[in-house]
Amino acid sequence: RSWDLRLVVCTKTEQPTPFGILTNGAQDPETSQSISWLSGIATSAAKAQVKYSENADLSGAAIAEGTSEIVTFVQSTSGDALRVNRVTVSGLTAGKTYYFQVGDGTESGWSEINTFRTADASAKSTDFFILGDIQSTNTVYLSRALTELAKQPYDYDFAIQTGDAIDQVAEYTKYWVPFLNIVNAGSLGGTDLIHALGNHEYYGDADGSISGAIYDLPQSAQNSWYTMDYGKVSVTVINH
């Protein structure tokens, strides 16, 4: 008896430093923060850490640990493999700005310093913006939109990405790299980004596990849902 067997070999994609750092939506945004990023398998250890402090120079920093897993982006005849790292920092104070670095615990493995701000339920207003249906390798207009948002006189409490951000999630270099070069903790000023999954997030990834890992989602399966509350706004996400 014999069988036909097709194998796709995924390359250990080079990524010398932490890449695509995201401050994601959190289910307890007043006291916790979800942070995720990618790193190369050959250039990072299988450990995820966030060093954080209320001081810009990270003096008195604490370290939170999370998970690091290898995620594959499988196309028809080839693929990419990277580490996806996720950390939830807890025990934070509401309405505070924190400074942080991500890394694998090695001295040379730390990222640049970024910021995030915890939610404050007692604030008089809740400000947010929405990004929708991005799915393009041409990020000129997206970059321009984020630049204009940064000029506005608001301290955004969160943002929503409504789905179909990535046209083909299994194509890391073509789609994920341009997107994460533009949409990241640095360009968003540490604003929490709540992600919904559209039909394109399931092309080549039926259970949404790739997007679920990169965005550190509570749920990623089709038709799954979850709720996040920021100040005076409650957001219910239905993945479709």
Amino acid code (one letter) for 45: A
Confidence check: pLDDT of 76 > 90:
no
| Lowest-pLDDT range of 10-19, 150-159, 178-187 | 10-19
Distance in angstroms (rounded) separating the CA atoms of residues 123 and 143 = 29
Mean pLDDT score across all residues of the chain: 93
- The stretch 198-226 carries a mean pLDDT of 96
118, burial (CB in 10 Å: exposed 0-12, middle 13-18, buried 19+):
buried
Under 8 Å between Cβ of 210 and 11: no
Under 8 Å between Cβ of 158 and 23: no
**pLDDT tens profile 132-142:** 988 877 888 89
**pLDDT tens profile 50-64:** 999 999 999 999 999
**Predicted pLDDT of residue 135:** 82
Q: Provide the percentage of residues in the chain whose pLDDT is more than 90.
A: 82
**pLDDT tens profile 95-106:** 999 999 999 999
Whether pTM > 0.85 for this model: the answer is yes
Q: How confident is the model at residue 6 (pLDDT cuts 50, 70, 90)?
A: low
Under 8 Å between Cβ of 27 and 19: no
**Predicted pLDDT of residue 211:** 97
Confidence check: pLDDT of 69 > 90:
yes
**What is the separation, in whole angstroms, between the first and last Cα of the chain?**
41
